[in-house]
A and B are shown apart, each in its own frame.
Chain A
Amino acid sequence: MPIPMAAPAADGCGISAPDGMNGPVTDAFSEVTRDLLAVRDQRDRAAFGRLFDHFAPRLKAMLMRGGLQDGTAEDVVQDVMLAVWHKAAQFDPHRADASGWIYGIARNRRIDLARRRPLSQPEEMPEVESLDPDAVQILAFQQEARHLAEALSRLSSEQAEALRAAYFDDLPYSRISEMTGLPLGTIKSRIRLGLERLRHELRKIAP
């Protein structure tokens, strides 16, 4: 198995974990996060192709759910995946996994399409190569990301649906209510319940 974490740091970008940490740290990454690190550190096209195969159809589904037409959604997916390629140096496994990072890029593209002016963005953090990698922190973070994904599978289908509406559709709550015919208070409490149930996982991710 390729071990991106232990890649020689000849280019100054590799993360060298302390002895004995390579195995557990690498195992903590999801496959897509490993691929994204290979794109970041080695500009690995095969890994990028795998990212495309995983994310592009899902991103298109998310964007169409958010109201984009088929052709527009397809164009935005191309934009987002190109941004993944060009901005990979910004990906920092101390703070994100591949899915969350790519979701964030797609969400921002979707928002800017709908705004008169692009949404003001926070200052980018220093590039990864200038950070001191902390294998313990990366390991803990990536494990929490997995716990979060597991927590999702424990939600009721109604809670998961309410969350998806909140995260993909960015619809005002009143429209969610219209579509499902449920009273507003119920929708809001479902979103809140879903979030509350996830909150302790999130807290560990973002202490």
Chain B
Amino acid sequence: MTRIQHHIPDDVLDTYRTGTLPHAFAVVVAAHLSLCDECRARAEAQDMLGGALLDRTEGAALAPGARDRLMAALDTSPPPPPPQRGSGVFPAPVMAELGGQPPRWRMLGGGIRQQILTSDQDGSLRLLYIPPGKAVPEHGHRGLELTLVLQGSFSDSEGAFHRGDVETAHDAIDHQPVAGSGAPCICLAATNAPLRFQALVPRLLQPIFRI
């Protein structure tokens, strides 16, 4: 596996860590952290600092009996359910969005497929499947888009992206990703605005496919 070259930007990682990142983007961040030791270490190092601060904090008095209640609960409380596991190219946070099932692709034409995982006013999250050498129709963005490669690769004006790489696109970037040769490119994409396709036919199809 090639080394991951394109990481989660600091500001996005900070927003994830404070818990204010909308769900669609949080899943992309969690999936990248599942694949990228470097970003995971960055995030976990922050916890170490939080822990050191916690140690130096003066405690607040607990309710009487709090300790006894907890010690008694050790045997009676059910253990948490086992965590979701990853499967194939899909890391655990993506499998959780898929409900533990393989993707149910919808054809978009040209061999391109997608599955929408969530879509609300804060953002939408989809899996895309792009056959080797195929271009995703050209589109522009409003707002933020994060695209994580799970299988294969794609290239555009921003560079080449392989498994684990994240492309961060802000306003006004027009890019035309083309899937690399080899395995079909599967990626996880979060946007906070509907994509605007520039070719006429895809634009007409946009409301139908919600791409």
**A residues within 8 Å of B by Cβ?**
32, 45, 48-49, 52-53, 55-62, 64, 73-74, 77-78, 81-83, 85-87, 95-104, 107, 110-112, 114-117, 119-124, 145, 148-149, 152-153, 160, 163-164, 167-168, 170, 198, 202, 205-207
Please determine whether A86 and B58 come into contact, CB atoms closer than 8 angstroms.
no
Contact B34 A152 (CB under 8 A): no
Of the four ranges (under 10, 10 to 19, 20 to 34, 35 or more), the interface on chain B belongs to 35 or more
Q: Is the CB of A122 within 8 A of B92?
A: yes
Number of inter-chain CB pairs below 8 Å: 180
Is A99 touching B67 in the complex (CB atoms < 8 A)?
no
- The docked-state distance in angstroms from the alpha carbon of A101 to that of B86 is 23
Chain B residues with CB under 8 A of A207: 41
Residues from chain B with a CB closer than 8 A to the CB of A57 are 59-62
B interface majority secondary structure: helix
Q: Which of B2-54 contact A (CB under 8 A)?
A: 16-21, 23, 26-27, 29-31, 33-34, 40-42, 44-54
Determine the distance from Cα of A109 to Cα of B50 in the docked complex, in whole angstroms: 14
Contact residues of A: prevailing secondary structure: helix
Q: Quick check: A114 and B19 within 8 Å, CB to CB?
A: yes
Alpha-carbon separation in the docked complex, A114 to B109 (Å): 41
Cβ of B177 under 8 Å from chain A: no
Contacts of B1 in A (CB 8 A): none
In the bound complex, how far is the Cα of B59 from the Cα of A131, in angstroms?
35
A96 to chain B, nearest CB (A): 7
Contacts A123-B85, A167-B53; is A148 near B23 (CB within 8 Å)? no
Report the bound CA distance from A118 to B73 in whole Å: 24
B30 CB contacts on chain A under 8 angstroms: 119-122
On whether A123 and B93 interact (CB within 8 A), knowing A86-B79, A87-B80, A163-B53, the answer reads: yes
List chain B residues, Cβ under 8 A from A62: 54, 57
Q: In the complex, which of the residues A58, A86, A107, A168 contacts B47, with contact meaning CB atoms closer than 8 Å?
A: A107
The reply to whether A122 and B34 form a contact with Cβ atoms under 8 Å apart is yes
Q: Taking CB as reference atom, which chain B residue is nearest A121?
A: B30
A120 to B27, CA, bound (A): 5
- Kindly name the residue among A112, A115, A119 whose own CB sees the greatest number of chain B CB atoms within 10 A: A119
With the chains together, A72 CA to B41 CA distance in Å?
A: 31
Interface residues in chain B, defined as those with a beta carbon under 8 Å from any beta carbon in chain A = 16-21, 23, 26-27, 29-31, 33-34, 40-42, 44-63, 66-67, 69-71, 73-74, 77, 79-80, 83-86, 91-93, 96-97
CB pair A206 B44 closer than 8 Å: yes
Smallest beta-carbon distance B10→chain A, Å: 11
Q: Are the C-beta atoms of A103 and B74 separated by less than 8 Å?
A: no
Closest 3 CB pairs of A and B: A57-B59, A111-B19, A99-B51
CB-CB under 8 A from B77, the residues of chain A are: 82, 86
Do the beta carbons of A205 and B60 come within 8 Å of each other? no
Beyond contacts A148-B52, A206-B41: 6 other A-B pairs, Cβ-Cβ < 8 A, are: A107-B17, A120-B93, A122-B33, A122-B34, A124-B83, A198-B49
**Cβ A96 vs Cβ B48 within 8 A:** yes
For A52, A111, A123, the residue with the greatest tally of chain B CB atoms inside 10 Å of its CB is A123
Within the complex, the shortest CB–CB distance from A50 to chain B, in Å, comes to 11
Report yes or no: A99 in contact with B54, Cβ–Cβ below 8 A: yes
- Chain A residue numbers with a CB within 8 Å of B27 are 120
17 A-B pairs with CB atoms under 8 Å apart are A45-B71, A55-B54, A56-B70, A57-B59, A60-B59, A61-B59, A74-B66, A78-B70, A82-B70, A85-B74, A104-B47, A116-B23, A120-B29, A121-B92, A122-B91, A148-B52, A149-B55
- A84 vs B50: C-alpha distance when bound (angstroms): 17
